[in-house]
Structure 1
């Protein structure tokens, strides 16, 4: 097959792979993928089962238990601690702070302002004069006439000693450098270049192929596990759920309706009638008992005294003003 032509007339080369395959990759790829598929399919199916079980436990057990524990923790620990902090610790701390301010800070400020400050101002001049002639002037003379010459001499000796040590260290370092380069660096470089690099490349190819095989096997195992799960779901639906649904719809529902219409509903109507009769009987019995008690009380104590009529200021019904008459209770003869 001819290569496509570029605009400048030269043939276009096919794109090169960033990781050219070699004989090692071709030999390792197929067996590794087969072995990885055989080993990974059970692991992936077990993983999917564990994921489903974990989600079920999370939704039905762990999440309600966690909410209950969180509420219990708030009730038993958080709210009591908050109450102790708000109503005991904070007021106690404020009281201690106020007491410390009154007992320590206020006396200390008063002592500093009224006692120490005036005393310090009266002693400052004498202390300054004594410090100048007893400390500052002798120290300046000692620095100018003794410490400075001695320091210059020590610095010159130190520079000479440092130059000598530097020359010695430089020579020893050069000898050690060339010795280490010849005995260690060059052999290690040759070992790295001619042994470890080819072996590492081969191991990298093998490791990449193994990882790719594991990835393909994991994806294929996922498809297999999903298909197996769908098969189990379909089997469960057609062997258990669908017969149960049909039995419920075609057998249990008509039987239940028949039992409801022939047994339960007449029993309910009879129960309501019996309850109504029972209530009526109880009401009649209560009325009989009430009348009997009234007759016994009347036989023992006689008729109760009638209340005496009370002279009301308002006119009676007969003497009240009517809508069709102009007379009232006050003007009527």
Structure 2
């Protein structure tokens, strides 16, 4: 019987939703996709920029601030708060609040409790009458509230708010599904656009630059190195050697041959005075 009731109940709830879905889903998804696509592209660009900033700017700055500023400031602030607040509060709790609490407990147990029991014993009949009157008044107020508030609210909920909420829920669910599909589709489009831009960049800039480097600049560099730079270096070295030789000849012609350095006496022992391991 339960399964039959469920099978009878499901078509009644799904049939109006199917009609609303057919009328809402396709235009909502198209419009939401057109709105979400630039947002997703901007989101991906901002995510890449934020990842770069976090990795290369914010993380080093945060580590520097934590090690050099925040950690020492936190330790100093904690020490100051402990000295100025925690220790006085501990002293206040031990020497003032604890004795005061014990005194209040003694006052409650020894004075207030007996007085309250005596007053309760004297006021029981009056309290019973007041409680009866309050019960009747509450019953009357509950009936009035039910007639004036509860029944109209139930009618409003059952006949107006529930159908409107069902239609609104279907619309919101379709909008949410459309947002999800549009976000995923925009992600695919963004990735495809990124691949296209990367391919165009490689074809327009990277590959021609690589071809020019390999085909033109490298052979030209080799030719310049072999025909210009290397002979120029050899000629410069030959000129340097010739200039050095000419300078030495000029110095020799003007000042004569340089005097050889005098032998330095190192005070080494003569061969006959040397000692060996044998003697």
Query: Structure 1-normalised TM-score?
Result: 0.55
CA deviation map 1:230-260 (0-9, x unaligned): 1121112112211111111100111111111
* Alignment match of 1:265 (pick from 223, 230, 251): 230
- Which of the pair has the greater relative contact order for Cα pairs under 8 Å at 6+ separation? 2
Q: Do structure 1's residue 317 and structure 2's residue 271 form an aligned pair? A: yes
Aligned to 2:40: 44
What is the CA distance between 1:294 and its match in structure 2? 7.4
Which one has the bigger helix percentage?
2
Q: Do structure 1's residue 168 and structure 2's residue 133 form an aligned pair? A: yes
* Alignment match of 1:227 (pick from 177, 181, 192): 192
Aligned to 1:101: none
Unaligned runs of 5+ in 1: 1-12, 94-142, 296-303, 323-327, 329-333
CA deviation map 1:268-311 (0-9, x unaligned): 3344445556677888999999999979xxxxxxxx9x99xx9x
- Residue pairs, 1:130-209, within 5 angstroms: 154-209=119-174
Aligned to 2:49: 53
Query: CA–CA distance in 1 between the matches of 2:33 and 2:191?
Result: 15
CA deviation map 1:83-134 (0-9, x unaligned): x98xxx9xxx9xxxxxxxxxxxxxxxxxxxxxxxxxxxxxxxxxxxxxxxxx
Q: In 2 relative to 1, CA 157–268 (structure 1 residues): closer, same or farther, beyond 3 Å?
A: same
Unaligned runs of 5+ in 2: 1-6, 84-109
Q: Does the residue aligned with 1:22 lie in a helix, a strand or coil?
A: helix
What is the CA distance between 1:262 and its match in structure 2? 1.5
CA deviation map 1:202-227 (0-9, x unaligned): 10000000000111111111111211
* Alignment match of 1:239 (pick from 183, 204, 221): 204
- Matched residues, number: 230
Query: Structure 2-normalised TM-score?
Result: 0.65
* Alignment match of 2:24 (pick from 23, 28, 33): 28
